[in-house]
Amino acid sequence: MILGKLPLYRVWKARYGTHFKRRRFERIMKLVPLSSDHPVRILEVGCSSGKDFIQFLDGPNVEIWGVDLDDDAARSIQHSGFHFVHADAEQLPFDDKFFDLVVSIGLLEHIEPMEKLCRVIAEFDRVGVHQLSVIPSVSTIIEPHCGRLFFPRRLEKTMIGDQPGQILHLNFLSDHSWTKFEGFRNCQVTRLF
């Protein structure tokens, strides 16, 4: 069943989407030990229009950067003091440990090939003191890219095509597998719903 195609689901998402994004923002920010005695530098990689994260950041003590390959969406970000940098996540133009926190939401499941994914995660580790990535779990009940119920159903032909060589362009790894990346060593896995 594809929930994402149901009109009721679209209404639900439009009406309550921001509420749940805010709730996720509040939950993930509790996971990061950020000090408030100096301005905190935060980078979102794959920031798009900032609807997942940047829109909720507030306060005089926060300096916000965003990186994306697509600068169109980022132009809509009106946050005061927001700096946008057009760059590829695998080569971030910042000094080592420049940021107190590097965030990505809905980015890493799209990065391929795997060699590039390794470089991207290594960059997060290089430029950030702390890092936080939100990635769909392999055991998610609702596949978030198509609103389809239950993980195994995502492998249907409608999602990957039926031509030889067509593959699913999404990284769905187990929680445990994500911790195997060198850039994620010492990272903690937390399930959100």
Contacts with 166 (C-beta within 8 Å, 6 or more apart), sequence order: 160
Following CA atoms 112, 128, 134, 79 in sequence, which dihedral angle do they give, to the nearest 10 degrees? -110
Minimal distance, residue 91 CB to ligand SAM, in Å: 9
Counting Cβ atoms within 10 Å, is residue 30 exposed (0-12), middle (13-18) or buried (19+)? exposed
CB of residue 55 to ligand SAM, shortest distance in Å:
8
69 binds ligand SAM (CB under 6 A): yes
For residues 124 and 139, give the distance between their C-alpha atoms in angstroms, rounded to a whole number.
25
**184 vs 16: CA distance, rounded Å:** 32
Of 37 and 55, nearer to ligand SAM (C-beta) is 55
Binding mask 9-48 for ligand SAM (x = CB under 6 A): ------------------------------------xxxx
Closer by beta carbon to ligand SAM, 40 or else 89: 89
With CB under 6 A as the contact rule, the residue among 40, 42, 43, 67 that binds ligand SAM is 67
Residue 172 beta carbon to ligand SAM: minimum distance, rounded to whole angstroms = 15
Q: What DSSP assignment string belongs to 102-154?
A: EEEES-GGG--SHHHHHHHHHHHHHHEEEEEEE---TT-SEETTTTEESGGGG
Per-residue contact track with ligand SAM, 140 to 179, x per CB under 6 A?
----------------------------------------
Measured from the CB atom, is 57 or 129 closer to ligand SAM?
Answer: 57
The stretch among 7-15, 28-36, 93-101, 104-112 that binds ligand SAM (CB under 6 A) is 104-112
Is 101 a binder of ligand SAM (CB under 6 A)?
no
Reading the block at residue 148, the tokens are 């389809």
126 contacts 96 by C-beta, under 8 angstroms: yes
Report the alpha-carbon angle 127-128-130, nearest 5: 165
Residues at the site binding ligand SAM, with contacts judged by CB under 6 A? 45-53, 67-70, 73, 88-89, 105-107, 110-111
